[in-house]
Amino acid sequence: MRKLTAIALSTVAAIAVTAFSASADDFKIGLSNGWVGSEWRTQMIEEAQAAAAKWKEKGHNVQVVVQSANVDVPGQIAHVRNFISEGVDAIIINPNSPTAFDPVFAQAKEAGILVISTDAEVSSPDALYVGIDQKAWGAAGAEWLAKTLNGKGNVVAINGVAGHPANEMRVAGYREVFQKYPDIKIVNEVNANWDQAQGQQAMQNLLATYPDLNGVWVQDGMAAGAWKSIMDAKKTDIAATGEIRKDFIDIWVKDKLNSGASVNPPGVMASALNVAVLMLQKKELKEPATAGQYKNAMYLPIPFIDSSNLEEVAKALDGKPGYYSYTSSLSIEDAEKLFK
């Protein structure tokens, strides 16, 4: 039998290593974002891409393919179909509907593709949700506001995109809390589509209509605008929820605003990606994802910002651009602890 030279042996070894890594650690993951109306969404995608890069540093080739555009539900379903045709290993989606994706997610499962939703839960039994509990997110801000108002007063709510699953769960969260406080009256609820300028205009209109307001429950993306109208009107006695963005945190610190904010970290998609990679490696969760209304959710912690930790948060954001949101995510090591 002919002896292999040292060069030949090294070549064979290299091919073997390459083949092994391609079969065991080479994953393509599709990221679908159906709305690009805020820097939060851009940061979400960037953090997911950074998470994929960290896997590469550990010797695992995780390629991400991004489809991010303002699309309606049929347009985002087309995203998923494109990913199926492309033969990705997993799809991570921030969905525009909780129920419309059931048929296409079933097609993805049939094709052997893992599906994880983030930021908004979905009803499909063929998908997993990794993200915060949006209802609890809404409830946390409402609880802060109710206690700050000593359980009584006139309150308005400025909500995001009507019908969006995350928005609807947040609304359910604050309504449930305020129902426990009979002396708190929700005098109006409006939608401002997670847009700062629309939030500012909505707040201006509400202040003109309800001059005796005591509190404002407003979501991220609009709170900075709402607070600008509050400050312009010199309504310093109003308590209102706030933003997790650096520019708003700076104003919060400078003007000592009476505010509190639930944190929906842009890192939720990065967390979902780390969970996806471990599942693609055939690892098994210690506890099945059975939380939520659809019994398919794995909930992440929800940080909260108020006067007790505002200075700490401001330090964490030091040097970041104004649009940057305070964030957190499951690191690879944190995600590994969830698996056997």
pLDDT for position 38: 86
Answer left, alpha or beta for residue 241, where phi above 0 means left and psi between -120 and 50 means alpha: beta
Task: Assess contact for 171 and 158: CB atoms under 8 A.
Answer: no
Q: 6-132+266-302+325-336: what fold?
A: Rossmann fold (3.40.50)
Mean of the per-residue pLDDT values of the chain = 93
Closest C-alpha among 270, 263, 267 to residue 309 = 263
Q: Can you give the residue ranges of every domain in the chain?
A: 6-132+266-302+325-336, 134-262
- Residues facing residue 216 across a β-bridge: 156, 240
Amino acid identity for residue 312 in this structure: E
Give pLDDT tens digits for 110-127. Answer: 999 999 999 999 999 999
In the block, residue with structure tokens 């979400």? 44
Torsion of CA 85, 86, 91, 97, to 10 degrees: -40
Please determine whether the domains at 6-132+266-302+325-336 and 134-262 fall in the same fold group of CATH.
yes
- Flag whether pLDDT at 2 surpasses 90: no
Q: Is 294 within 8 Å of 122 (Cβ atoms)?
A: yes
pTM for this entry: 0.89
Is CATH 3.40.50.10470 the right assignment for the domain spanning 134-262? no
Q: DSSP assignment of 22-64, as one string?
A: HHHHEEEEEEEE----SHHHHHHHHHHHHHHHHHHHTT-EEEE
DSSP β-ladder status, 297-299 and 259-262 = unpaired
State the Cα–Cα distance between residues 195 and 185, nearest whole angstrom. 25
Could you report the per-residue pLDDT of 129-171, keeping only the tens digit for each? 999 999 999 999 999 999 999 999 999 999 999 999 999 999 9
What is the reported pLDDT for 25? 73
